[in-house]
Structure 1
Amino acid sequence: MRTGRFHENSEPANSLRAAALRCQAARIHDSSERGEQHVNDGSSSAVQPPPATHRNNPTTPSRTTNSPLERPHPTQDAETPDGGVEAPLVLVDEALCAEWDELATRSGAAPFLRPGWIQAWMSAFEPRRALHALTVRRGGELAAILPVVRKGGSLHCPTNAETPVMGPVALDTAALRPLIGSHVERHGLTLRFSPEDGDQEALIGNARARGLLVSVTPLRRSPCTSVQGNWEEFQERTLTASRRRDLRRNERRLAAAGELRLTSHDVSQDLLTTLQRGLELEAAGWKGDEGTAVLSRPATTSFYRSASAWAASASLLRLYFLTLDGEPVAFSLNLEQNGTSYGVKTAYAPAHRAFGPGVLMLHRLIAEGFSRPEIHMLEHLGEDDPFKREFSTGVRHQSCVRVFPRGARGRLQQQVDRGRLALTTELRRRTTPESRRTVQRMLASVKR
């Protein structure tokens, strides 16, 4: 019977409960040994952190500057007893944001790692938390930075489902080494949507070199398309003959109904109006029905408006529309930087679904990329959807990196993580995709 089978295979759930209880006991034991939890800033005495504060709350007590979590960012990193460099954990302010953005520009970091994008994310999704950062300096100048927020005594990089990519910004790999210091040893670190590249390898290697436990869990694959070379040769080499026929047929069918055009807007004017037009197109489709469209939730609406305003001010934003007699049938929100066009959001009009307007839009965006010498790569962010894969020439792998705190607490957290992963895997095996989508729609309706 199915019930008996589930009982026989319930070890993941049991191990998860047992590990959680052990973790709770360890925290109580650790607290009793320490007296009060504190953060050491490298001086001879530890200080108690200030009480939890909320931004934009006039009744919040004023912050103390004694804690390393709240102190202004230093001009030099502290040295550890063995002569190494210790990356301090500092509160992000305007001065640090200016240095951060300059570092991101110099190092060629993706726009999603720049302070303007992350500040928009914080304001929308974590308005009651303060943004901190692990920083590394050379000769007083910022050489590496990793933004984090504190949750339940742990350090987490600011991410959620709207995050295209997350990671440190650094001049070189050597600057990453001090990021894994005493703060990570004490509190741990969770970094989601981390690209599987040299920076990730350096962080993992540095954590393991310090004797810390590390887990790496694959999260998603995002296709990408190189737009260097000849457009016609790309189509012959990449697209199947049946896909090319479908594209030509759907183009003819839509063209027979009116004038089909691809338009782009740098939105120097009427940003909100133009953006709203595209987001309404998304909300009219299946994402609106499932409650996952940008306009379905106030937080995501606020985020994309703020992030788009920042991107427009930095001359990164382009809004594309595929129009039929002036009426939009598909939409794409893109950020362009350093020769790369990032497809952040796409949508199409459900009334024209039979013509595949989303695929036609992607086809035209790639064609435009081949016609623009300054663009050499299109990044199709998000999941590895089949239609994206058809047009791609490569794929970017992302994963969740967890560095566990030192000692018994870290070992127990690792066991809890393993139990959670085993339980999630078992639930996915026992449920259908449709039932999982039903649960997601229910959760989305609750959030609204």
Structure 2
Amino acid sequence: MDMASHPAVATAHAFAPAQRVRWAALADEAAEANAFYAPDMLGAALDHLAGDAHVRMVEAQRDGELIGLMPVVVASRHGRLPIGCVTNWMHDHCFFGAPLIRRGEEVAAWRALLGQLDEARWAQGFLHLRGLDAAGANAAALEALCVEQRRGRREVHRYDRAMLRSELDADAYWESQVRAKKRKELRRLQKRLAELGAVESRLLADRADLAAWCGEFLALEASGWKGREGTALACRAEDAAFFRAACAAALDHGRLHFLRMDLDGRAIAMLVNFRHGEGAFSFKIAFDEALGRFSPGVLIEIANLHAVQADSAIGWMDSCAAADHPMIDSLWAERRTITQYRIALKGPGRSAAFALANGVEALGRRLKGQE
């Protein structure tokens, strides 16, 4: 008998530190790794990025034990359609949206999560799930449950992005996956950069250095095109505060992977990754654009390859990059398929909203000659 249940939904700001301890226990047993919803990053996001978003934390329990957690918001539109819906919360710095579900409780957790949304008066339209791994535990459990319940489920969009997953060491991977011509050119750039001074790559190891490293990263990112376009973390106080808080929490729990490349002791490239479970997620990269002729962004990715492949605790790394990214796609051979789903909810008017969104989407494809 399925004894999964759910408590009343609470808004993000109602959660005390003790509640986040429960999330941490769930994250440790998650069937699918997601550093963005692990308490390190999720807690920092709720504290600094929620703003007026009115984030709700939907929890699923079995016999009092937390088996599922999904942050959601109500969106007033679905793409170009003026149809309200519920969607998993993905702020501007969140690049993966898989809810945390306890290993072995995947279907039960989703049964409770969807059941709670079915009953919630505030849950409009349907559930729009973004940023899922098409081959992940969440997608598989959702498909099984929707078939069982005869619940509508529609894939809205998918794309492939680079990831690193290989048993090869860094040198063997580099030789087998990167074209010889590109390897030769990058060796030339490494040699030319070394002619300017001492080049060193290192991982953050000392907690006492964290504040300085975060400050250097924020300044380095803001010095480039992101700063000019106003999208660098340092451009908004809340984004910078989120970054510092997430890095501190992750470091304290052994889940921060912060790499830098120095030239004569000055950071010319920095890369921040967050770990969860057996995997890791590449979060942000920054480099000195004045040294662009040496491709410091690519060079630190080479250093990152060596650091990751030398770490037995990291089984894979998601690039979190856009589709067809010209730089990382040329370095990492593996791909992860990221998808979005539209899931029907039960209740007055919701079936109509789900059918309307599907119908408009199908009509758009026909008009474009895609069907």
Q: TM-score range by the shorter chain?
A: 0.7 to 0.9
Structure 1: how far apart are the matches of 2:238 and 2:355?
32
Larger of the two Rg values belongs to structure: 1
Q: Which runs of 5+ in 1 are unaligned?
A: 1-78, 428-448
Q: Could you say what secondary structure the match of 2:305 adopts? A: helix
1:198, CA displacement in angstroms? 2.9
| Match of residue 415 from structure 1 | 356
Aligned: 1:292 with 2:211: no
Kindly provide the amino acid, as one letter, of the partner of residue 386 in structure 1.
P
Aligned: 1:183 with 2:117: yes
Aligned: 1:161 with 2:92: yes
Q: Which runs of 5+ in 2 are unaligned?
A: 77-83
Structure 1: how far apart are the matches of 2:67 and 2:309?
35
Q: Could you say what secondary structure the match of 1:347 adopts? A: strand
| Match of residue 365 from structure 1 | 304
Kindly provide the amino acid, as one letter, of the partner of residue 193 in structure 1.
G
Q: Are the counterparts in 2 of residues 89 and 183 from structure 1 also a CA contact under 8 Å? A: no
Structure 2: how far apart are the matches of 1:99 and 1:409?
32
Q: Are the counterparts in 1 of residues 4 and 62 from structure 2 also a CA contact under 8 Å? A: no
1:348, CA displacement in angstroms? 1.2
Q: Are the counterparts in 1 of residues 61 and 112 from structure 2 also a CA contact under 8 Å? A: no
| Match of residue 145 from structure 1 | 69
TM-score by length of 1: 0.69
Aligned: 1:330 with 2:269: yes
Distance 1:387 1:327, change over 3 A: same
Q: Could you say what secondary structure the match of 1:113 adopts? A: coil
- Provide, for residues 220-274 of structure 1, a one-character-per-residue CA deviation record: whole Å limited to 9, x for no partner: 4331113533333222210101111011100011011111110221351142321
Q: Are the counterparts in 2 of residues 180 and 206 from structure 1 also a CA contact under 8 Å? A: no
Q: Over aligned residues, Cα RMSD in angstroms?
A: 3.0
- Provide, for residues 14-70 of structure 1, a one-character-per-residue CA deviation record: whole Å limited to 9, x for no partner: xxxxxxxxxxxxxxxxxxxxxxxxxxxxxxxxxxxxxxxxxxxxxxxxxxxxxxxxx
Distance 1:413 1:320, change over 3 A: same
Is the helix fraction higher in 1 or 2? 1
Structure 2: how far apart are the matches of 1:422 and 1:312?
49
Q: Are the counterparts in 2 of residues 133 and 148 from structure 1 also a CA contact under 8 Å? A: yes
Aligned: 1:393 with 2:323: no
- Provide, for residues 356-404 of structure 1, a one-character-per-residue CA deviation record: whole Å limited to 9, x for no partner: 1111110111122233333332321221312211221311222222223
Structure 1: how far apart are the matches of 2:93 and 2:278?
23
Aligned: 1:105 with 2:34: no
Structure 2: how far apart are the matches of 1:293 and 1:137?
39
1:166, CA displacement in angstroms? 1.5
Structure 1: how far apart are the matches of 2:258 and 2:61?
37
TM-score by length of 2: 0.82
**1:57-136 alignment to 2 at 5 Å?**
85-91=4-10, 93-94=15-16, 95-107=18-30, 109-128=33-52, 130-136=54-60
Structure 2: how far apart are the matches of 1:390 and 1:402?
32
Structure 2: how far apart are the matches of 1:410 and 1:288?
44
Give 4+ residue runs of structure 1 displaced > 6 Å after superposition: 420-427
Structure 2: how far apart are the matches of 1:101 and 1:169?
10
Distance 1:418 1:324, change over 3 A: farther
